[in-house]
Amino acid sequence: MASLPPKRKICYYYDGDIGNYYYGQGHPMKPHRIRMTHNLILNYGLYRKMEIYRPHKATAEEMTKFHSDDYIKFLRSIRPDNMAEYNKQMQRFNVGEDCPVFDGMYEFCQLSTGGSVAGAVKLNKQAADIAVNWAGGLHHAKKSEASGFCYVNDIVLGILELLKYHQRVLYVDIDIHHGDGVEEAFYTTDRVMTVSFHKYGEYFPGTGDLRDIGAGKGKYYAVNFPLRDGIDDESYESIFKPVITRVMEMFQPSAIVLQCGADSLSGDRLGCFNLTLKGHGRCVEFIKKWNLPVLLLGGGGYTIRNVARCWTYETSIALNCDVANELPYNDYFEYYGPDFKLHISPSNMANQNTPEYMDKIKTRLFENLRMLPHAPGVQMQAIPEDALNDDSGEEDDKAPADQRISIRQADKRIACEEEFSDSEDEDGGRKDRRDHKKKRQKTDTGDKKEGETDVKKDEKEVKKEAPETKEEPKAASEKDDKVTPAGDKKDESSPPASAKTESNANVDTSSKDKEKDGETKASTTASSTTSSGTSVTAASEPEKMEH
C-alpha cells in the first residue's frame, strides 16, 4: 500500500514567521500550532518528500476578490496602537472580541491567504495533486466581517481561484464549527457545494441547521450535517463516507477543498467531539481517494499538541507515507508528553449521536441531494445507456480481479471506497463497496420516493462508475479538454453535468487501454464528441426541471 508507485504530487505551504503571531493572552487560537506541525513534519522526514513553498503575502487586491474593499482597508490599517481611532469600524467589522487586533494581524492574514491562493493556483496549473496549507482554513470570516478568530477567508479566495479552471468545486468542512463563512459566500451559487459536519445547538456560530440548504441558484448546494456532542471515529465515518459519496455522485466536482479543523478531535479545548487522529485522518484519506485535485487546509484546533499531531498525520496521509507512532524528537517534543506518541485515544465521553439520529439526518440530506438538477431523472434515459451499462457492468466484473488493471491505472482510478478499504485491511476489502451501495439503495427505497427509485438505482450505478474515472487523468483531463472542446464548453454552461459523466465514462473506456496510448487518443476523441452531442440534451433538461 505504502509503495504505490505513482505518488501524488504534494505541495506544502509554510512560512517560518507564522508561529510567532500571537492573538493575545488567553486567546485559544495559537498560530504556533502550525509551527509545531511543521517541525514534526520535518523530523518525521515528511518534509523531504514534498515540495515546500514559502507563500507570498496575499495582497489587498487578491483579498478583495471576495472581501469588501473597506473591510480589507480597515484590516490593513488597524494596529494595536491605533485601535482607539477605529472604535466604530471595529464594531462594524466585528473585530475586538473573538477577533482581536494583534501585532501583525494583517500579515498573518496575508500569509494564511497567500498559501491557500498559491495552492489553488498550483492545482489549477496541474502542478500538484494536493496542496497543503495548514495556516489556512479560516472558515468563519465573512465578506465584511471578522468572526470566530478568522479575518480573511482564505478558503473562499482559494475556491474562487479554483473556479477559474473548475466548473464545480466541492468544499468539505470537518471542523467542529460550522463553516459558515464559506457557506455564506457561496450560498447562492451552484458552482460550489459546501458540505459541513459540525456540532449544532448552542454552539458557535449558530448556523448550519439541517434546513439550511442554500438559496436561489444555490439551493441544495449547501449541505449541513448537524451533530451532537461526543461523536466518535466510527460514527463519523458512518456518516462522512456515505454523505460524501452521494455528494460526489450528484455534484461531480472537479476539485475539492477540505478544511481539516482539528477541533473536532477528542480533548480539544473548545470542541466536544471524540474523534482520534485516525477518524479525522480517515476523512482526508477518503477525500484523497477520489483522485481529484485537493486543497488541504487547516482551521480550528485549540489543543495545540493534538493539532500538530493531527496535521502531521494528515500530511503523511496526503503523502501516502506511513509514520511511526513514536514521535521523533523535535524542538517542541516536551509538548507531547507524557506519552510522546503520535496517536491519541478517545475519551470515555458519551456519544450523543445515536445511530437513529444520524440515520435520519443522513436520509434527509440524501433527499435534498436528490433535488440537485442533474439528479437522475427520466432524462438520463436518453443517454446511450447500453454503452454505459455495459461499461459499468464490466467494471464491476473486473473489480475483483485487480491484476487486470495496471497498477498505474488502478491508482488513477477513483474507486473511492474500494481503495479505501484496500488500504484499511480491516474492513473486508472489495466487498465494502458493494455493501455500501446496497445500504444506500436500501435507504433510497426505504425512503418511499415513488417508483422511480429503480431507475435511479440503475443510474446511480452508472454514475458511480463515472466519477471514478472522472478526474482520471491529470494527464487525460488535459487531453480531455483539448480533445473535446465542444463537449466541455457545453459542460461549463450547464449546471452539474451529466455531460461530464458521460464524456468521462467514455474516457474510462478508453483509459482502460491506456497503455496503448496512441490509439486511445483517437478513440477518446470519437467517443467524447459523440457523447457531448447526447449530453447536451441530457444536461439542459434537468435545468428546466429545477424550476
Partner 1 sequence: MGAIPKNYGLAFSEIDGVSPTPEDGENNEIVHKAPPEENGVTNTNGTSSSSNNQNGCGMEEIPEKMRHQLKHRELFLSRQVETLPATHIRGKCCVTLLNETESLLTYLNKEDTFFYSLVYDPQQKTLLADKGEIRVGSKFQAETIPKVISGSEDTRNSEDLEELVWDPSHLLSEKEIDQFQIIARSVGTFARALDCTSTVRQPSLHMSAAAASRDVTIFHAMNTLHRQKYDIAKAIKSLVPAGGPVLCRDEMEEWSASEANLFEDAIEKYGKDFNDIRQDFLPWKSLKSIVEYYYMWKTTDRYVQQKRIKASEAESKLKQVYIPNYNKPNPAAITTKINGVEGSVSGRACESCYCAHSSQWYSWGPVHMQCRLCNLCWSYWKKYGGLKMPTRLDGERPPPNARQERIAQMNSVRLQKCTISGCGKRCHISSNCRNSGDESRNSGNDINSVKKSGKAQHQREHYRYQKERGTEKRVSVARIRNRSGSKGKRGDLDTANISTKEHTKSPSGDSDTLNKTTGNGSDIAQTTCFDMSDIKNQLKTLMGLIPAIMELKQAYECQGDDEDECSPSPSECGDTWPDEGNSTNPTTKDKP
* Cβ nearer to partner 1, comparing 202 with 426: 202
Candidates 126, 46, 38; CA nearest to 319 is 46
* Cα–Cα dist 90/83, whole Å: 8
Alpha-carbon distances, residue 256 vs 289, 365, 542 (angstroms): 11, 19, 24
Q: Considering 140, 166, 198, 374, which one is annotated as catalytic?
A: 140
Q: Does 422 bind partner 1 (CB under 8 A)?
A: no
β partners of residue 415 = none
Window 88-107: residues binding partner 1 (CB under 8 A): 94, 97-98, 103-104
Rg of the chain on CA atoms, in Å: 23
The phi, psi pair for 221, rounded to 5°, reads -100, 10
Q: Is 432 annotated as a binding residue?
A: no
Burial pattern 342-352, b for ≥16 Cβ within 10 A else e, equals: bebebeeeebe
Q: Tell which one of 214, 253, 298, 496 touches partner 1 (CB under 8 A).
A: 214
Cβ distance to partner 1 smaller for residue 93 or 240: 93
Q: Is 117 in the site for partner 1 (CB under 8 A)?
A: yes
Among 87, 234, 269, 439, binds partner 1 (CB under 8 A): 269
- Paired with 534 in beta bridges are none
Give the C-alpha separation, 324 to 513, whole Å. 39
Q: Output the CA angle 16-21-26, nearest 5 degrees.
A: 140
CA dist 308 and 311 (Å) reads 5
> Distance between CA atoms of 2 and 57, rounded to whole angstroms?
35
Cβ distance 155 to 182 under 8 Å? yes
Nearer to partner 1, 11 or 287 (CB): 11
Instruction: Determine if 355 is a binding residue for partner 1 (CB under 8 A).
Output: no
Q: Minimum Å distance from CB 399 to partner 1?
A: 33
Could you say which residues in the range 153-192 bind partner 1, by CB under 8 A?
156, 160, 163-167, 177, 180, 183-189, 191
Of 9, 32, 52, 6, nearest to 319 by C-alpha is: 9
Check binding of 221 to partner 1 (CB under 8 A): no
Instruction: Name residues contacting partner 1, limited to 372-401 (CB under 8 A).
Output: none
Q: Does 356 bind partner 1 (CB under 8 A)?
A: yes
From 408, 409, 514, 389, select the one nearest 464 (Cα to Cα). 389
Any catalytic annotation for residue 436? no
> Based on CB atoms, which residue is closest to partner 1, 124 or 276?
124
Taking the least distance from each CB to partner 1, the nearer of 211 and 516 is 211
Among 69, 234, 326, 481, binds partner 1 (CB under 8 A): 481
Residue 149 binds partner 1, judged by CB under 8 A: yes
From 26, 403, 426, 518, residue interacting with partner 1 (rule: CB under 8 A): 26
Scanning residues 49 to 78, which ones bind partner 1 (CB under 8 A)?
49-56, 65-66, 68
Residue 177 annotated as part of some ligand binding site = yes
- The dihedral through the CA atoms of 343, 320, 249, 457 has a sign that is negative
Asked if residue 186 lies in contact with residue 221, where contact means CB atoms within 8 angstroms, the answer is: yes
228 makes contact with partner 1 (CB under 8 A) = yes
Nearest distance, CB of residue 92 and partner 1, angstroms: 11
Q: 428-457: which residues touch partner 1 (CB under 8 A)?
A: none
Q: Does residue 270 touch partner 1 according to CB under 8 A? A: yes
Neighbours of 234 (CB within 10 A): 11
CA distance 220 to 468: 23
* Residue 212 assigned as binding residue: no
Q: Residues 296 to 325: which contact partner 1 by CB under 8 A?
A: 302
Would the annotation count 98 as a binding residue? yes
Closest CB 53 distance from partner 1, rounded Å: 4
| Choices 117-125, 497-505, 506-514, 534-542; region in contact with partner 1 by CB under 8 A | 117-125
Quote the CA–CA distance of 348 and 544 in Å, as a whole number.
51
Which residues are the active-site residues? 140
Q: Which residues are annotated as a binding site for a divalent metal cation?
A: 175, 177, 263
Q: Which residues are annotated as a binding site?
A: 98, 148, 175, 177, 263, 302
Q: Which residues are annotated as a binding site for substrate?
A: 98, 148, 302
